[in-house]
Amino acid sequence: MRYRLKCTVCCVLLLSLLCIVITGCGSRTELNEISIVSASGVDWKDGKWVMSYQLVLPQAISSHGMGNSTGAAPVNVFSTSGDTIRGAISKASYEMSRRLYFSQNQIIVVSEQAAEHGLTNLFDAYLRNPDSRETVSVFLTKLSARQVLEHLIPLEEIPGEAIERMSLNEEKNGSTLPHMSMYRVLLDLLGPTKATGVASIDISGEDPLNSMQKMSKTYSSSKIKLGQLGILREDKLAGWISHTNSYGVMWMRNQIRNSSLWFPCSSEQPAEQAVMRVNRTKTKLKAKKDGDSWKLHVQIRAKGTLLEYPCDSDLSKPASVEELEKAAAAKIAMLVQDSFKAVQGVKADILGFGEAVRLQYPKEWNAMTSRWNEEIFPETKVETDVQVTIERTGMSTDSFRKMQSKAGS
Amino acid sequence: MFGSNKGNRNGNKSQPQARADGSKLEPLSPNLTASLQSIRAKLGNSGDVMIRALRSDAMPGLEMAVVYIRAIVEEDHIHQNVIHPVMGWSAPLEPATWMETLRQRVISTGATKLIHSIDDAIYALLDGQCLVMTNGFGQAVAAETSGGEMRSVSEPNTQTVIRGPQYSFNESMTTNVGLLRRIVRSADFRMKTITVGRKTRTSVGIIYMDQIADPKVVDEIERRINEIDIDGILESNYIEEFISDQTFTPFPTMMNSERPDTVASSILDGQIAILVDGTPFVLIGPATFFHFFRSAEDNYQRFDISSFLRILRYVAFLASMLLPSLFIAITTFHQEMLPTPLLISLASQREGIPFPALVEALLMEFTFEILREAGVRMPRAIGPAISIVGALVLGQSAVQAGLVSPAMVIVVSFTAISNFVTPQISMASASRLIRFTLMLLAGVLGIFGIMAGVLFLLIHMTGLRSFGVPYMAPFAPVYNQVWPDMIIRLPWWARVYRLLATSKVNPHRQQGGRPSHQKRK
């Protein structure tokens, strides 16, 4: 009995010792041995991939102790180049004392040139490596990616995170541009129509000051902004559409979450615009076969609140509200028509039209999959069925102008 | 060997009638001087053995003596109830029945007994009895006169409550049994006394409720205590280590309490209490893991707050066991698990810290353990000094000097505080020991190591038994009637079942159900 006990104790001790020796704390990384990448950029220059990294300098950010008083920039940007993306990344060890840590990467910015060259390498790297997360947000830019990473954002300490939040905020409260995570991009590109739209980042204005000097001013002459919608087909950039058209695309893709929609408030006063806050919408896409050609039927149901109303109608009467609703519906229909044409121009179906066809007419779809984006989609037509309900007209019924004229009489 | 002792020890405050080896006892000599001489010799001529020579009016020709050991008897008691009546006894009597008369009619203490051998006489003296001896008789009368200084019943020091009885056991077993008797006034209250310890001959009392406690467990406890063969028992932990089911485990399998109300509620639940003379801490067994998270106060507060506190205790126990190891594992192996702002904040704190997180944590943990031990050991007057040194010098300066990161200080102090939440200190100590092991595992293997460690512990715990009761009961195995009352504290009218899973004898505490005035008509 006692002998057995001794044996067991020895075994356990030996095994645990072995564990320590074998692993040797091998995969252990202390927090001060890694450099956290908050944003990365992909450029294509002279036949080589140029990867840029925005590294967070924790000392400059943290509120504790000496904190930000040194005035050091909160991030540091540098680039490496190579024939492949991962190859370029591995060259980072030539100039970095710490391991690049990608798991906390918030955004990845892809330049126009790189996107036109094709992003197969990038997507594959993201699918294959555990430390590159698919939750990272993807953006395109017409500038070089490095320029975007170098730009500081007022109020925010980590630009990479700020850009992601900006995009999320846009999607949630404006809904003109989609917030695309790598996961959603891959899902779309591996979907039936192999196309997707990704928002771009622009820098507006020129600023002679460097980023840190800017921090001491109350305004910034150059700013990071969300721009247009870049359309990717297969793995390449196929073209751009304006953000107004992007807004129409969002309506069609049922991605409106909260949005301000403005429209002419009455036929008598076409210059006056009413604004409504769209709270809930539901879009249904249906494909219709129309002889040889195809038709997309877009059914939209939207509900919202009136925010601005400069016209004269008496909103206490249901009829005039109904008129207003019709005007809003017409505006949505117009947006949809316009953006449909714009997307057709790029020859990449990012609307979910192909998906609708595939679900309803699987046989026909199989036969024309390969020709869809290039040949069939540009020839299709769209028809809209939009109904808008204005649920509340706000705290006042009459417009300010009407109240004024009443007061005068 | 134990078998031969058993019969003797079961007797009330036994004086062995025969030696363990079976040899004949040395009889008392009829010659008083000779007897006194041999008693003195046996006790090594100790100065505290008092011999008072006297003569009685009844038998004026006979030399008599009263013998006792001074510090362990009540001398007033001896004077009034032994010496005075013996000296003043004048009724006529047959000389041959003198000793019998002494025992039955003259001496007026509670218990008297005739003694025939030197050894019995010695044991009686050591138990605090006094001997009355007469020249010409080979006998002595032992009268129960034990007494002496004893701490009075006072407030509990280690298991305090806000609401509830405010008194605790003291070092006298007689008092302690009395305190229990006064709470549980039932004829089913049972007590078995066993004397343990070759030299100390400490009384150990097994207290349980007949018809509630499992008789098999009572017998088993009795058997295990009888097996103990050691020179001295000074505290209940001696007994605990001898009789617990397994020694090599960090988890205690018996509770201890210095509160009479806790012990009373335990024996009503079917547990068995073991009182040891000389310590206020009473052992309670069988005890499962979940018993250790029950405080006496749970029963005295409203059920909602009691339930909340009980859950809080489980959380705090887990925190005190796992928190430092999780911190080490996440910051050195799994940084991706942290939200970015938190990671950056932690990373900035770690800049310039020379040690790996594991070393940093061990350093702080050891520091705390040292502070804690010093706090317990230290004379009370220097107590505040330690808190200044501990809190300011080691906590703040270590951070400012860049030896440890502030986050680590927070983790370690939170862990330390959580550790005090567990009502039973023995269980809190278990989590202290396990914590260090888990920290090493976390530092080597990350969360995988912690998982392995916790899994090992779980397997170990499900295998543990406390006097035959599975340690993880009522969850492994599941006892449906009892387990809600282990996690939360049900309202009193809903606590129908006695907690202990073995209490099959009489499982219902009450009829149960809502009080009639609360029922819907």
Q: Regarding the domain delimited by A255-409, which CATH topology (the fold level of the hierarchy) does it fall under?
A: GMP Synthetase; Chain A, domain 3 (3.30.300)
- Note the pLDDT tens digit of each residue in B419-473: 999 999 999 999 999 999 999 999 888 899 999 999 999 999 999 999 989 999 8
| Average confidence score pLDDT of chain B | 87
| Average confidence score pLDDT of chain A | 86
Burial class (CB in 10 A: 0-12, 13-18, 19+), B377: exposed
pLDDT at residue number A223: 84
> Which residue in chain A is spatially nearest to B339 when comparing CA positions?
A104
pLDDT tier, A63 (very low <50, low <70, confident <90, very high otherwise):
low
| Helix, coil or strand: residue B490 | coil
> Which residue in chain A is spatially nearest to B328 when comparing CA positions?
A30
Examine the pLDDT at B490 and tell me if it is beyond 60: yes
Measured between CA atoms, how close is B396 to chain A, in angstroms?
A: 12
Of A24-33, B211-220, B308-317, minimum mean pLDDT range: A24-33
Measured between CA atoms, how close is B326 to chain A, in angstroms?
A: 14
> What number is the ipTM of this complex?
0.80
Angle at B249 between CA B247 and CA B251, to 5 degrees: 110
**Gap between the Cα atoms of B231 and B228, Å rounded:** 10
Contact A36 B336 (CB under 8 A): no
Contacts of B226 (CB under 8 A, 6+ apart): B2, B5, B6, B9, B194
Residues of B in contact with A61 (CB under 8 A): 344-345, 348
Q: How many beta-carbon pairs below 8 A join chains A and B?
A: 80
Question: Do B133 and B65 form a contact (C-beta atoms < 8 A)?
Answer: yes
Of A12-21, A234-243, B66-75, B147-156, minimum mean pLDDT range: A12-21
**Gap between the Cα atoms of B274 and B262, Å rounded:** 13
Question: Do A77 and A54 form a contact (C-beta atoms < 8 A)?
Answer: yes
- Note the pLDDT tens digit of each residue in B121-133: 998 998 889 999 8
Examine the pLDDT at B505 and tell me if it is beyond 90: no
The H or E element containing residue A261 is strand A259-264
- What is the residue extent of each domain of chain B? 2-144, 173-287, 303-470
Measured between CA atoms, how close is A172 to chain B, in angstroms?
A: 21
**Gap between the Cα atoms of B182 and B63, Å rounded:** 45
Residues of A in contact with B437 (CB under 8 A): none
> What percentage of residues in chain A have a pLDDT greater than 90?
43
Q: What is the DSSP string of B171-231?
A: S-HHHHHHHHHHH---TTEEEEEEEE-TTT-EEEEEEEETTTS-HHHHHHHHHHHHH---S
Question: Do B252 and B424 form a contact (C-beta atoms < 8 A)?
Answer: yes
- What is the residue extent of each domain of chain A? 31-241, 255-409
Those residues of chain B whose CB sits closer than 8 Å to some CB in chain A are 248, 331-333, 335-336, 340-341, 343-353, 356-357, 406, 443-446
